[in-house]
Amino acid sequence: MIVGCVKEIKNNEFRVGLTPDNVKAYVQAGHTVLMEQGAGVGSGFTDDEYRAAGAEMRETAAEVWKEAAMIVKVKEPLEAEYDLMQKDQILFTYLHLAADKPQTDALLEKGVKGVAYETLIEKDGSIPLLVPMSQIAGRLSIQEGAKYLEKRFGGEGVLLAGVPGTPKAKVVILGAGTVGANACKIAVGMGADVTLIDINLKRLEQLDDLFGSRIQTLASTDANIEKAVKDADLVIGSVLIPGKSAPKLFKAKYLKEMKNGAVFVDVAVDQGGCGETTHATTHDDPIFILDGVVHYCVGNMPGAVPRTSTIALTNATLRYGLEIANKGLEKACQTHPAIYSAINTYDGKLTCKNVADSFDCYEYTDIHTLF
Ligand SMILES: NC(=O)c1ccc[n+]([C@@H]2O[C@H](COP(=O)([O-])OP(=O)(O)OC[C@H]3O[C@@H](n4cnc5c(N)ncnc54)[C@H](O)[C@@H]3O)[C@@H](O)[C@H]2O)c1
């Protein structure tokens, strides 16, 4: 198969769909890989590295879109790319169609086989192509939190670990899923005093077994959250109810009770945020301060560390991409049925039920009826 990879054109997006090592794997499997010049630069991969891995370079994205049977990307295609898409081309990337009617229309009109990272669901219910980004956001949340606790950013001026003779900073993590557990790991590693709060007691049991006496766990009730947050130096918001907006666990009234210069990192901002006072911020302007509490609410945190993010994402996508390239999309679905769940559009039909439900204007077609 001819596999193509183009430079991301979304604002501040520095990740890339294929690393040189990925190119090597496709080429070794007998495929041709076309790379747009400069596609990997934002993640620190040079054209020479891609060439050495066996890629053929193309000067423009248009050439890659024209020749490739499958395009491997990171972000959804933007308007400038709609006209470049080809009928029956496989587009393997994050699509997030439910919030994007123009893109949905474009994929359907063009007859693109849209295979979305975020809806690829394995038998055990896991979403393997979302996990790496949650791991990164979780780990980064403590790094950013530690930074904004510094005085010069409006923070209270405390070091997470303290030093002998001073108190450790108190970190409270709301939601102990992938983001929360990764935040916990880093906060514990940095020597902070960590409290994890979740509604799922089984999950708390697992993390209690893992971290033992180095953390405290609490059931998620308003009373427990209020008490913990009042004393906290750093609060991480990392709850998720799949498919719904995040519950507002971090109430506006808590701000006045909190320490001046405490920090709230709301990782759940991409689902509306779990703070009543949350509004989305950007890497260019990441924080705002309300009642003395520093809020960091960046919706695409992995973008801050594109090299790690690219490697983590492509570690997860490579096996599925290779399977599709080796067998063709239709056969790959038969041998690995999770890939069915990733197909959002096929031959002009909308094949993802959740996307169809979130609009009222498209007919849903079960992908299993199409091949
Ligand atoms: N900002 C970013 O860049 C970024 C990056 C990755 C993920 N995220 C977001 O982070 C959030 C968490 O993602 P995840 O992968 O950890 O999800 P997850 O499903 O692994 O974990 C969510 C946790 O929230 C818990 N929860 C649900 N309701 C709760 C409640 N009322 N009280 C306490 N806990 C509750 C669940 O039991 C679960 O353990 C999501 O909104 C995700 O989209 C944001």
Nearest to 102 by CA among 83, 89, 116, 117: 83
State the pLDDT at residue 310. Answer: 98
Q: What is the mean pLDDT of the chain?
A: 96
Q: Is the CB of 249 under 6 A from ligand 1?
A: yes
Asked if residues 362 and 103 have their Cβ atoms less than 8 Å apart, the reply is no
E strand or H helix at 165, and its extent? none
Q: Answer whether residue 75 shows pLDDT above 80.
A: yes
User: Does 173 contact ligand 1 (Cβ within 6 A)?
Assistant: no
Q: How far is the CA of 239 from the centre of ligand 1 (A)?
A: 3
Question: Average pLDDT for residues 284-290, to the nearest whole number?
Answer: 96
Q: Are residues 143 and 276 in the same domain?
A: yes
For ligand 1, whether the C-beta of 107 sits within 6 Å is no
pLDDT in tens, 175-218: 999 999 999 999 999 999 999 999 999 999 999 999 999 999 99
- Weakest-pLDDT range from 41-50, 85-94, 235-244: 235-244
Q: Are residues 359 and 248 in the same domain?
A: no
User: Is 368 one of the catalytic residues?
Assistant: no
**Domain boundary at 285, 304, 323, which?**
304
Same domain, 250 and 316: no
DSSP state letters, 36-101: ETTTTGGGT--HHHHHHHTPEEESSHHHHHHH-SEEE-SSPPPHHHHTT--TT-EEEE---GGG-H
CATH number at residue 360: 3.40.50.720
CA 199 – ligand 1 centroid, Å: 11
Residues 104 and 160 in one domain: no
Question: What percent of the chain stands above pLDDT 70?
Answer: 100
Q: Is the CB of 299 under 6 A from ligand 1?
A: yes
Cα dist. 199→142, 212, 222, 223, 311 in Å?
Answer: 22, 19, 11, 13, 32
CB distance 176 to ligand 1 below 6 Å: yes
pLDDT reported for residue 243:
67
Of 172-176, 240-244, 294-298, least confident by mean pLDDT is 240-244
Whether 198 is a known active-site residue: answer no
Chosen domain end from 255, 270, 304: 304
What residues make up the domain containing 75? Answer: 2-123+307-369
- Considering the domain architecture, whether residues 210 and 323 belong to the same structural domain is answered as no
Assess whether pLDDT exceeds 80 at residue 99: no
| Final residue belonging to a domain, choices 288, 304, 320 | 304
Q: How confident is the model at residue 341 (pLDDT cuts 50, 70, 90)?
A: very high
User: Relative to the CA of 181, which ligand 1 atom is closest?
Assistant: 16
Q: What is the pLDDT of residue 272?
A: 87
The residue from 193, 233, 266, 270 that is catalytic is: 270
Active-site position among 47, 96, 100, 336: 96
* pLDDT number for residue 359: 86
**pLDDT digits over 17-56, tens only?**
999 999 999 999 999 999 999 999 999 999 999 999 999 9
